[in-house]
Structures are given as structure tokens and as C-alpha cells.
Amino acid sequence: MITVKYFASLRSIAGKEEDQFNMGSETTLINLTHEISKTAPIIGEMILGKKVMVSVNLDVASLESIIRDGDEIALLPPFSGGI
Amino acid sequence: MITVKYFASLRSIAGKEEDQFNMGSETTLINLTHEISKTAPIIGEMILGKKVMVSVNLDVASLESIIRDGDEIALLPPFSGGI
Amino acid sequence: MSTALESNVRIQQENFVVTDEIEAIKKVSRNIGGITTFLGTGRELSKGENISKLDFEHYPKMAEKKLEEIRIQAIKDYGIIEMIIVHRIGEIDIGENIVLIVAAGEHRKETFKACEWAIAELKRTTPIWKRETTSTGEVWVQDTP
Amino acid sequence: MSTALESNVRIQQENFVVTDEIEAIKKVSRNIGGITTFLGTGRELSKGENISKLDFEHYPKMAEKKLEEIRIQAIKDYGIIEMIIVHRIGEIDIGENIVLIVAAGEHRKETFKACEWAIAELKRTTPIWKRETTSTGEVWVQDTP
């Protein structure tokens, strides 16, 4: 299973903190995005339109990145820490 | 009387914290410097050679400045405050 | 990870005391001559609107990892001796402390540069989000594109 | 002179507490979002020599006047909200606080600029002198030509 975490404004849009997707042993972020789009097309569009960044196991990743079973994906809206 | 104050390394050279000079009602810093040079030629040279700054009543002044009876002159070696 | 990570970069709900962080960094070396500190606090106004409350959320583990990367790079690139970064999360009132960056070095110039770079880099790379509550409601602030 | 002068620029023998100065400056406005602080401390090494003690002397009244001029110009030129400057005099041990500059503003950039300018200006214009005691004796440091 692949875990997808939603943060800040994304959590409100998704209506949940995280999801689980069964994508087999290996796939790409873009394939995962298509899977997310099936139930949350708005979020899919945000990912493809680079409105949110995506991290894989705590590092920012590109949509072409390979992801594997057990990976932790997070959808990161623009940061606003600091002041 | 004109008061002359010596600070930091200048105080060690002068061997005192301050002096009094009777220069009449009005003179220039350069005339005062010549007066100082009579007893402390090294200090006179430092003033003329711009090794020390001179202040008149708390403001930095040039050697051409007019000084008056009652003024407070200070001889200021290069500053080293802060760190 | 080293104990340095645990103490020198932190994300926490509770407030921090600037003097305590400065005294901690002073203990690292007797050759520290300059310490530049940046403290971010909650402002009342944002884009003309009155803010009544701030709320910060972070991505645990990733946020701490980014702060540690900033600390390591600041020490390396600017030649400072040590850096402490603390960011608070949760509810924060107007005037309260939000973020602290302390850069200690032998001389002042590198500490100013490192501190200014670190707060900009934190805003750019660290997964922390701010929600502002105003009279018109709550909004997640999106500073960085 | 105003009470601002008495509290915001000071030359004193006793130590200061950074947090106290920051809390004092925070009270000036609820629109402060960034506070940059520079703290100068006594280093052990100077030009390769071990320092055992520092001693600071100032020209009373003129030094305070210069600090107040720096504060006023920093607020005016950099658009910050307030600045506090404290410089200690007398004997200071290695690691102890020497000088503190606190610049508070709405945004961080102007506070970094104002703080960095102020410490450079202090060194350039304020009649304060440092005497270092090393194993070879005592010497008045002459930084500024």
C-alpha cells in the first residue's frame, strides 16, 4: 500500500488526513495522481498543474519519480512558515 | 577656560584625565593644539597627523573650528566599541 | 541522528526563551564574537486585515529534516560556528513568538548573512503552513508558489 | 530628552538580558513581525593571542548621543518601528555580553539591514574603547582609523 498524506488546505479539500492506495509493487507519481483524480479530480488537477508539491519519503519529488509499495507520499500546498 | 579630556590610550600618554587651558574668549582648535604641544608634543603631533579625532561639546570637529571659553574639547583615539 | 539535531533544530508547541537559546549556543565555543538572531512574531495586520489568531501546522519528520539541512548548509556555506532553529506550531496569539534563528560565529558579517539566508530558506523549503483567523474567517496562507 | 532616549539607548556596567529587551520592543507595536538582534560577546582569541579580559571605556554623554543618533537614523532610513541599543562598559570576561542591537519592524528585510548598519555605525562613530588583556600585557585596541 502507498500512503498519501494531505496537509493544510489540501486536507480540507480531501476531507481527510490520509489515504491508502494499492498500486502494486512499483509505479510512478503520475499514475498515482490519476488514481487520486478518480475520487478527487480537483486534487489531481492541482498536482498536475503544480499547485502543490509532492514528497516521497520526506523528499520533494517530480511526477516522473518511481514510487514503491510502502512509500509515504505527501501533498504539500505552498509553504507559509516563518512569518 | 577650555577643558581638554583625554581618553583611552591618550590618557596614558597625557598621564592625566583632563587639562584646563586659558585661551581667551575665542580661538581655533589648531591654536589649542599648539598650546597642548608645548607640554605634550607627541599629542600635538597625533592631533595634527589625524591619529586622533577631536570633539567640541560632544560633536566631532575639524582643526579649523572656532572654540570658545567654556567649551569641552575631547581627544578621541580610534574607536573600538562593539566587538 | 546526533543529539545536535534534537537540540539545535526543533518544532514545538511551547514557547521558547531567546536568552536560553543564546546561552546554549554560546557554550559551543569560546571563540564566538557575534550572534545574530531573527525572531518572527505574530503581526496584527496581514494585507490590511486584522488577524485575531494564527495557527501553524507542519509535516512531522520532513519539517525537522529540512531545518537540519538548513542548519548544516548555513554552517558550511557561511563559515559560522553553530545555528539554532526553533519553529512553533499550534495556536499563536498576536505578539507571540513564532520562529527563532540564532547564528553564532567568530565575526558579525557571516552571522548576519547566515541568519538572513536561513529564514528565507525556511520559508522556501520547510513544510510548515500558517492559518490566519480574521473577522471574515479562516484562511491558509500561501506565500510560496 | 524623551524617555525613549533613556530606555532605548543605554551604556551600562551591568549585564543585560536579551529576552527582556525583545519583550520591551514588542510592546511598542502590535504590528511587529520581525525582530533582528545582534549580540556581540567577548572572544577568547584576537589576532592569534589569547585574551583573558576585556575592558571598555566610553566618553559619557557623547557616546549616548551617538547611539541615539544611530537609533533615530535607523528608524528613518530603514523604515523600522523601533531600535534598542545597549553597550556595556567596564570589565568583561570571555563569553560575556558586550553589545546588543535590537531592530523591530513589520517585515524581516528592513530589520536585518537596519541592525547590520547600526552595529557598523556604532563601531565607526561611537566613542567607546576596548582594552584587551593578554599574556603579553594590556593594549587599547584601535580598530577604526
Q: Per residue in B2-58, pLDDT tens? A: 999 999 999 999 999 999 999 999 999 999 999 999 999 999 999 999 999 999 999
Residues facing A50 on adjacent strands: none
In a domain, C1, yes or no: no
On whether residue A83 sits in a domain, the answer given is no
CA distance D19 to chain A (A): 19
Global confidence as pTM: 0.93
Cβ contact (<8 Å) for D38 and C40? no
Q: Searching chain A, which residue's CA lies closest to the CA of residue D107? A: A83
- With respect to residue B52, please indicate whether it lies within any of the assigned structural domains: yes
**D61 has a pLDDT exceeding 80:** yes
Count of domains in chain D?
Answer: 1
Lowest mean pLDDT segment, chosen from A40-49, B54-63, D2-11, D14-23? D2-11
Domain assignment of residue D60, given as a range: 7-140
Could you give phi then psi for residue C111, rounded to 5 degrees?
-75, -35
Mean pLDDT estimate for chain C? 92
Give Cβ neighbours of residue C89 (< 8 Å, ≥ 6 apart): C11, C12, C13, C56, C57, C58, C128
> Mind listing the pLDDT tens digit for each residue in D89-108?
999 999 999 999 999 999 99
Least confident interval from B71-75, D126-130, D134-138: D134-138
Considering only CA atoms, which of D79, D71, D98 is closest in space to residue D7? D71
Q: Is there contact between D and C if contact means ≥3 C-beta pairs under 8 Å?
A: yes
| Average pLDDT over every residue of D46-66 | 91
Residue D2 lies in a domain: no
Q: Is C35 part of any domain?
A: yes
B83 interfacial to chain C (CB closer than 8 Å)? yes
* Contact between C79 and C29 (Cβ < 8 Å): no
Q: Which helix (H) or strand (E) holds D20?
A: helix D18-26
Which of C40, C46, C44, C21 minimizes the C-alpha distance to C104? Answer: C21
Alpha-carbon gap: B49 to the closest alpha carbon of chain D (Å): 12
ipTM of the complex: 0.92
Q: Is residue A82 part of a domain?
A: no
Task: Kindly identify which residue of chain D lies nearest to residue C94, measuring between CA atoms.
Answer: D30
Element (H, E) at C128: strand C128-134
At A37-63, the pLDDT tens digits run 999 999 999 999 999 999 999 999 999
d(CA C74, CA B33): 51
Task: For residue A66, give its domain range.
Answer: 2-76
pLDDT band at residue A70 under the 50/70/90 scheme: very high
Is A81 a member of any domain? no
Structurally, chain A folds into a number of domains equal to 1
What number is the average pLDDT over the span C17-22? 97
Would you say residue B83 lies in a domain? no
Per-residue pLDDT at C60 exceeds 90: yes
**Angle at the Cα of C117 (from C96 to C54), degrees rounded to 5?**
25
Whether D92 is covered by a domain: the verdict is yes
Within a domain: C2: no
The D residues from 24 to 63 touching B (CB cutoff 8 Å) are: 40-43, 56-59, 61-63
Q: Tell me if A64 is assigned to some domain.
A: yes
CATH of the domain at D56: 3.90.1170.40
